[in-house]
Chains A and B, each alone.
Chain A
Amino acid sequence: MSAPLRLLAAGAAAPQSAVFATASAKLTAKEVFGRCHLGGDPALIGNRSVVVATRSQASAALALLSLDGVARRLVLVPPGLGTAALEQVMARAEAEVVVCERESWQPLFSSWPCLTVDPQGCAEAAAPQGGLATEWVLLTSGTTGVPKLVVHRLATLTGAMASRAASPPAIWGTFYDIRRYGGLQAFLRAILGGGPLVLPDPEETPEEFLTRASELGLDYLSGTPSHWRRALMGRALAGLRPRCVRLSGEIADQVLLDRVRERFDKARIVHAFASTEAGVAFEVTDGHEGFPANVLENTGTPVELKVKDGTLRIRSPRTALRILGTDEPVADPDGFVDTRDIVERRGARCYFAGRRDGIINSGGNKVHPEEIEALLNGHPRVEMSRARARKNPILGAIIEADVVLRSADGAPPQSPLEEELLRFCAATLPVYKRPTKIRVVPSLSVSAAGKLERQGA
């Protein structure tokens, strides 16, 4: 793909059709593509490294359309990134220009020229200049707390997308923020397919967003398993009739897949394997957790997978190109990206056991918190759960778990339920994997990236 995103997207959309629907505004193709949305001197962005630090997703989307093909590099700053981290990101990205809304400007930006983005648009659009292969930089949480800056190009980001758009164009919604890999996939699929993307406003709650999305009639809705568990707790899904439901970014266990199936009996339910570094690798549509082992033997597809030292490795044209500001390579010398997701093969199927970095060592035994969570989530009274290590002078660490009860459940006395859940775990798990304590909590936090928060757990 060589044309800039703006041209590709403008070609896909009918002039009067909506491109973005936020709570406050619906922007048609004419408004999005017929106007310039960057205030200030547009010549500033040509061949520069531009940091997109907007508050709203709609502003970010408009900035992306203006920058691809024109800027040398665009850096997508996700919401909630603190000032200290943002400063490090700007240094590593060798930022030359900042794009933000007038109201989201902050003193940190005073050393850089700043362009403001205005969803209402300020002038007739000039034809996009240049056809640069702009670097798209996405941030992921690094192991050291400093975000990793992962470099893609439009071609690697759109590698998994069908070249022929659906007719009529599909309406997309996502629980992800479009400045994260999963959300960016939804954004690009929508905009290249000529269909509207329904975006949450920063002040909208997930319930309000879902209610509005139901009224607009979504065809596709994507999010992480944690996003979906949280949505299933509320009532706002009742009005939705999506044609396709997508889960990615975390392990989709059987209990969750069955609950999604129960709620959306007519929808195609897809759980996809994708990560910011490895890109979209494959989709599973049979409704079962894990994936068919023959995916590992796939030849003749652009995506090659293998398991080495227990973790899934991916070589594909959709993987990231490099990591900015470090010598750390994205892939090994053969071009395979280590996803650090541990895969276990049982017969003709492979299952995700957890993250290499998330293993708990309890008395020399290795325990994946995800295995315990998947079991607890299958208990009829449990909505979601988190297993975590607790430091212990005898065994190094012991395992404790927190559970959120299903909404229909009243507030039960703690002890009988804890006993019941401990027995439930003991019936399946070997002694060293069993939680030693289970707490009922009102909620579990989900990170800005839509994943169960494990930091400090």
Chain B
Amino acid sequence: MRVRDAVFTQFREVARQQDRPLSELGDSLPLADSGLDSLCLAIIVARLEDTLGVDPFATSDDIPTTIGDFVALYERALA
């Protein structure tokens, strides 16, 4: 739950700062429909590296397509 909270917090925080409309977050929401562009996702990944201490994209070739995939990637990296 901690990882999911951290991810959701950053989605909301970055959307607010970048002035982007954010869809309601849920596991099945495709990242492409979240309202965030690639810059927002890039910032989220950097911030999660600062708060959680991992960058799963650096070690994994998995490309997440949904919010659920995205959270799972971090959960696996921290497991």
List CB contacts (< 8 Å) of A380-413 with chain B: 390, 392-395, 398, 400
Binding site for A on B (CB under 8 A): 17-18, 38-39, 41-43, 45-47, 55, 57-58
Chain B minimum-CB-distance residue to A426: B19
Q: A394-B57, A395-B39, A432-B39 are in contact. Are A422 and B17 (CB under 8 A)?
A: yes
How far is it, in angstroms, between the C-alpha of A398 and the C-alpha of B49 when the chains are bound? Answer: 13
User: Per a CB cutoff under 8 Å, which of A395, A419, A422, A437 touches B38?
Assistant: A395
- The tally of residues in A whose CB lies under 8 Å from a CB in B reads 14
A400 to B43, CA, bound (A): 10
Question: Which B residues are in CB contact (< 8 Å) with A126?
Answer: none
Interface centre among A392, A400, A422, A432 (most CB of B within 10 A): A392
**B55, A394: Cβ atoms under 8 Å?**
no
How many Cβ-Cβ contacts under 8 Å join chain A to chain B? Answer: 37
Which residues of A lie under 8 Å from residue B41 when comparing CB positions? 394
Q: Which of B17, B42, B47 contacts A394 (CB 8 A)?
A: B42
Cβ distance A51 to chain B, nearest Cβ, rounded Å: 44
Residue of B nearest to A431 (CB): B39
Most chain B beta-carbon neighbours within 10 Å: one of A393, A400, A437: A393
- A310 interface hit (Cβ, 8 Å): no
Residues in chain A near residue B18, CB distance under 8 A: 431
Name the contact of A390 in the complex, choosing from B39, B46, B58 (C-beta under 8 A).
B46
Q: Which residues of A contact B (CB under 8 A)?
A: 363, 390, 392-395, 398, 400, 419, 422, 431-432, 436-437
Question: In the complex the two chains form, is A437's CB within 8 Å of B46's CB?
Answer: yes
In whole angstroms, how far apart are the Cα atoms of A204 and B46 in the complex?
Answer: 41
Question: How far does the alpha carbon of A431 sit from the alpha carbon of B43 in the complex, in Å?
Answer: 12
Q: How far is the CB of B27 from chain A (nearest CB, A)?
A: 21
Contacts of A394 in B (CB 8 A): 38, 41-42, 45, 57
Q: Which of A392, A400, A419 contacts B45 (CB 8 A)?
A: A392
Q: In the complex the two chains form, is B46's CB within 8 Å of A363's CB?
A: no
Q: How far is the CA of A446 from the CA of B42 in the complex (A)?
A: 30
Instruction: Tell me which residues across on chain B come within 8 A of A431, comparing CB atoms.
Output: 18, 39
16 example contacts (A-B, Cβ-Cβ < 8 A) are as follows: A363-B38, A363-B39, A392-B46, A393-B45, A394-B38, A394-B41, A394-B42, A394-B45, A395-B38, A398-B42, A431-B18, A431-B39, A436-B39, A436-B42, A436-B46, A437-B46
**Cα A394 to Cα B14 with chains together (Å):** 15
* 8 Å CB contact of A393 from B43, B47, B58: B58
Instruction: For A395, give the chain B residue with the smallest CB separation.
Output: B42
Which 6 A-B residue pairings sit nearest by Cβ, starting from the closest?
Answer: A393-B57, A394-B42, A395-B42, A436-B43, A392-B42, A398-B42
Chain A residues closer than 8 Å to B55, beta-carbon distance? 393
Q: In the bound complex, what is the Cα–Cα distance between A390 and B39 (angstroms)?
A: 13
Task: Please give, as numbers and ranges, the residues of chain B lying within 8 Å of A398 by CB-CB distance.
Answer: 39, 42-43, 46
* A383 vs B49: C-alpha distance when bound (angstroms): 29
- Residue of A419, A432, A436, A437 ringed by the most chain B CB atoms within 10 A: A436
Q: Which residue of B lies closest to A422 (CB)?
A: B17
Cα A422 to Cα B45 in complex, Å, equals 18
**Residues of chain A lying within 8 A (CB to CB) of residue B43:** 398, 436-437
Residue numbers in A under 8 Å from B17 (CB-CB): 419, 422
A393: chain B residues within 8 A (beta carbon): 42, 45, 55, 57-58
- How many angstroms from the CA of A170 to the CA of B43 in the assembled complex? 54
Determine the distance from Cα of A98 to Cα of B25 in the docked complex, in whole angstroms. 69
The CA-CA distance from A392 to B50 in the complex, in Å, is 12
CA distance A329 to B38 in the complex (A): 42
- Chain A residues positioned under 8 Å from B46 (CB to CB): 390, 392, 398, 400, 436-437
* Complex Cα gap A422–B14 (Å): 12
Task: With A392-B46, A436-B43 given, name 15 new contacts (CB 8 A).
Answer: A390-B46, A392-B42, A392-B45, A393-B42, A393-B55, A394-B38, A394-B41, A395-B38, A395-B39, A398-B39, A398-B46, A419-B17, A431-B18, A431-B39, A436-B46
Complex CA distance for A395 and B39, rounded to whole angstroms: 7
A392 to B44, CA, bound (A): 10
